[in-house]
């Protein structure tokens, strides 16, 4: 426990995101929901109460202006239900609205005069192209990448975005041809780019990730310093349902493939060649851990906590020597966050992320 504390607390990356009725000035970690509320004739309806409820239970409320317009400028990404209510009108609800990082979601609502107690429910389809933004960006949410093959770090998710791939030479992710050292990495609103190498400065286990966004072009001035792409990551938060995961990941030499042999000219006869086989080092990795999220105060305050240490043991035999050398590594990966709804127009998130 003493060793864990010495690794965890000095390396904490702290991000406080205040999601209120005005746009935040920090790195982009939210999205926007906006639209117009009209009646059957198409006339704007002022004073309509519009409510947005996330799948996690976060609830925001606002009213339309004189032109029938409403706007939620800073909402966490995820699945939302939008509803509109006004005295004398039927309540209108739109379900299944997927909101992703940085992309404004336009949801127009049409209301009808109430004759009897009725509710109009619409199941919406997300538009294929966002016509309101010139940025080229791809967002991958946990509901998607949990079903995809990936590595243990969030960069393996970013590499699945169009135009992105692993950089075999410099390391990191190359976006649209730029080298792996020309990107900017944002984690819960904090710039975690390594100032020396330009690659990701922190490891974030994929089990902790809620969404990964890769911006390749047309991104805002707030991401200045990136020549390649911007990899924007947000961690999971709790919901009104208590749920989690307990398990372990394991790999060793027997579960991996051998290094491909190469054909080399023999030293004694330049006209002859032979296949050169490479010995495999014994490399064992064990990653036990857990995740747990749920409500502290239902519909008001939620928590998420996770810890997954990576324990690695390597037995290496240098090619020019016969003696083997052993080396052990340990990396403590953890995250803790609190998210909540202070008022109908004020959301917040307080997050600690660590790898070291």
Give the number of other Cβ atoms within 10 Å of residue 129's Cβ.
Answer: 6
Q: In which element (H, E) is residue 291 found?
A: strand 282-297
CB distance 57 to 16 below 8 Å = no
Do 81 and 143 fall within a single domain?
A: no
Q: What's the mean per-residue pLDDT of the chain?
A: 82
CB-count burial class (<10 Å; 0-12, 13-18, 19+) for 10: exposed
Q: Are strands 91-99 and 119-123 parallel, antiparallel or unpaired?
A: parallel
CATH of the domain at 53: 2.60.40.1120
Helix, strand or coil, per DSSP, at residue 343: strand
CA dihedral 168, 174, 180, 186 (to 10 degrees): -130
Bin 157: left if φ > 0, else alpha if -120 < ψ < 50, else beta.
Answer: alpha
Average pLDDT over every residue of 317-331: 77
Report how many domains make up the chain: 3
pLDDT value of position 326: 85
pLDDT by residue (tens digit) across 286-322? 999 999 999 999 888 999 999 999 999 988 777 655 6
Would 131 be classed as within a structural domain?
no
Would 115 be classed as within a structural domain?
yes
CB distance 39 to 110 below 8 Å = yes
Domain of 198 in residue numbering reads as 136-235
CA dihedral 166, 171, 173, 174 (to 10 degrees): -90
Do 273 and 196 fall within a single domain?
A: no
Its pTM stands at 0.73
Do 43 and 69 fall within a single domain?
A: yes
Would 6 be classed as within a structural domain?
no
Do 103 and 142 fall within a single domain?
A: no
CATH of the domain at 141: 2.170.130.10
Residue ending a domain, among 190, 213, 235, is 235
pLDDT band at 13 (very low <50, low <70, confident <90, very high): very low
Would 42 be classed as within a structural domain?
yes
pLDDT by residue (tens digit) across 29-40? 788 899 999 998
Residue 350 vs residues 169, 185, 190, 259, 260: alpha-carbon distances, Å: 36, 19, 12, 45, 47
Cβ neighbours of residue 173 closer than 8 Å, sequence gap 6 or more: 155, 158, 159, 164, 165, 166, 167, 180, 183, 228, 229, 231
Residue labelled with tokens 């997927």: 98
Would 4 be classed as within a structural domain?
no
Nearest in space to 235 (alpha carbons), one of 310, 149, 150, 157: 157
Rg from Cα positions in the chain: 25
Do 76 and 30 fall within a single domain?
A: yes
Name the more confident of 194 and 277.
Answer: 194
pLDDT by residue (tens digit) across 64-86? 999 999 999 888 888 899 999 99
């Amino acid at each position: 426990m003493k060793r864990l504390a010495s690794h965890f607390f000095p390396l904490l990356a702290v991000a406080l995101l205040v999601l209120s009725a005005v746009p935040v000035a920090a790195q982009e970690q939210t999205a926007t929901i906006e639209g117009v509320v009209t009646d059957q004739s198409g006339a704007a309806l002022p004073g309509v109460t519009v409510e947005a409820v996330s799948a996690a239970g976060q609830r925001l409320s606002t009213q339309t202006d004189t032109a029938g317009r409403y706007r939620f400028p800073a909402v966490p990404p995820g699945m939302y239900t939008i509803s509109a209510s006004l005295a004398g009108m039927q309540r209108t609800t739109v379900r299944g609205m997927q909101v992703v990082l940085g992309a404004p979601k336009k949801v127009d609502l049409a209301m009808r005069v109430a004759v009897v107690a009725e509710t109009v429910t619409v199941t919406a389809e997300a538009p294929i192209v966002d016509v309101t933004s010139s940025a080229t960006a791809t967002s991958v949410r946990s509901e998607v990448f949990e079903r995809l093959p990936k590595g243990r770090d969030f960069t393996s998710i970013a590499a699945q975005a169009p135009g992105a791939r692993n950089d075999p030479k410099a390391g990191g992710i190359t976006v649209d041809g730029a080298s792996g050292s020309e990107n900017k990495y944002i984690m819960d609103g904090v710039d975690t780019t390594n100032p020396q190498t330009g690659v990701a400065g922190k490891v974030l286990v994929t089990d902790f990730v809620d969404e990964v966004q890769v911006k390749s072009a047309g991104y805002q001035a707030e991401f200045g310093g990136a020549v390649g792409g911007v990899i924007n990551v947000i961690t999971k938060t709790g919901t009104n349902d208590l749920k989690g995961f307990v398990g372990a990941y394991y790999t060793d030499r027997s579960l991996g493939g051998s290094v491909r042999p190469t054909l080399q000219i023999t030293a004694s006869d330049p006209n002859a060649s032979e296949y050169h086989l490479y010995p495999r080092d014994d490399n064992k990795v064990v990653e036990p851990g857990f995740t747990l999220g749920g409500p502290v105060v239902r519909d008001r305050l939620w928590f998420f906590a996770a810890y997954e240490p990576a324990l690695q043991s390597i037995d290496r035999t240098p090619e020019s020597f016969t003696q083997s050398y052993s080396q052990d590594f340990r990396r403590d990966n953890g995250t803790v966050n609190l998210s909540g709804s202070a008022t109908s127009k004020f959301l917040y998130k307080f997050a600690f992320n660590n790898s070291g």
